[in-house]
Amino acid sequence: MNFKLILALLLLFSLSTSALTLKEIELADISKAIDQELPTPEILFGNQKLNINIQDDSKTLILGIETENNKIKSFIKQELTEPTLNIYTDLETLNKIVTTEDPQQTLLDSISEGKITYEAVGIVNKLKFGLINLGLIIFT
């Protein structure tokens, strides 16, 4: 379930299915993401503050996303203070997901290969995402 959210968040700011550069991501109109409903149960991501860290060579772009009632409340091109979840990837992995025929499988492969990682912040979130990971290990 959390994989679908990560995919949705990574693809929200992409306006095309072609490879992206950090500069294109920085210039993209992310206002279209506001009020988008998330494709996950509200209990998981309904009210979160996420930082997506995208690495390219020596540069890092951080996108801050705040959700409320399972919708994107704000989406900014800077780090949020006091995030509840940090997501890390690189531009090569992001482009692989955006341009592939099967983005969901590519996303799952990228997570299992450690090319996309995430870190829950705070005890409640660590427990919640730890249980999700345990469930995924048991049922996949």
* Residue-level pLDDT, tens digit, the chain, 140 residues: 344 555 555 554 443 456 667 777 666 666 666 777 765 666 666 788 989 898 988 889 898 888 888 788 888 888 999 999 898 999 898 888 777 888 777 877 887 788 988 888 888 777 776 666 666 566 65
Report the Cα 58 to chain-centroid distance in Å.
Answer: 21
Any idea where the domains of the chain sit in the sequence?
A: 2-139
Tokens describing residue 57: 């060579």
The CATH number of 2-139 is 3.30.1050
Torsion angles phi and psi, residue 121, rounded to 5? -115, 130
Do 67 and 45 touch, CB atoms closer than 8 A?
Answer: yes
Q: Is 94 exposed, middle or buried (0-12, 13-18, 19+ CB in 10 A)?
A: buried
Q: According to the model, what pLDDT value does residue 83 have?
A: 93
Q: What is the CA radius of gyration of the chain?
A: 14
Residue type, 89: T
